[in-house]
Amino acid sequence: MNKFESELKKGNFIISECSDCKEIVWPPSNYCNKCFGHVKWRKPSEIGKLIEFSKKENVNFCIAEFEEKIRIMGTLIGEIISPKIGQRVKLKKCGLNDGQFNFTMALI
């Protein structure tokens, strides 16, 4: 289990950033996919923007983008009347249980 997964298991969302060229490496990896430099781990901004969304039964799901780079699919919670693409979202919760990754976002 890498650092991303061990932190996610504790409910912390961290990302990898290259120590040399400062590129955000997503999906998380131990080495930069631009210059192969070592990465350091840090918390990203919890505020992102809505890229796209849909709904299965009563569960809304979406793609959200953080720091103009990191895109994740997750559950969209809260009052959702007419979401707008580009609308701000906040990462509310994340986890890793039995090998299952999960992310929960809310419109703000």
Partner 1 sequence: MNKVCLVGYGNTKFSRENISIDSLLLSATKSLFEQNTNLNQKDIDAVIVSTNDNTKYLAAILSEIAGIKPKIAHTVESLCNSGANSTVSAYSYIASGLAKVVLVVGAERYDSPGQILDWDKSRGEFKHPIFWGSIFTKSHKRKFGTTEEELAIVSAKNHKNAQENPHAYSHKNYTVEELLNSKKLTEDLKVSDCSRSCTGASAILLASEDISKKFSSHPVKIKGIGQKTVSAGFTKNANFSCMQSTVDAGKMAYEMAGIKASDVDVAEIHDAFTVCELMALEDLGFVSHGKGAKYVKNLFDTENRKINPRGGLIGSGHPLGATGIAQIIEILQQLQGVAGKRQVENCKVGLVHNMSAAATSSTVLLLES
Q: Quick one: which of 97, 98, 101 has its CA closest to 74?
A: 101
Instruction: Choose, by CB under 8 A, the member of 53, 66, 76, 107 that binds partner 1.
Output: 53
Q: Name the one range near partner 1 by CB under 8 A: 11-19, 20-28, 40-48.
A: 20-28
**Would you count residue 73 as binding partner 1 (CB under 8 A)?**
yes
**Would you count residue 40 as binding partner 1 (CB under 8 A)?**
no
Q: Name the one range near partner 1 by CB under 8 A: 17-25, 35-43, 46-54.
A: 46-54
What span, in angstroms and rounded, lies between the C-alpha atoms of 21 and 38? 10
Binding residues for partner 1, per CB under 8 A?
4, 26-28, 51-56, 61, 63, 71-75, 85, 99-103
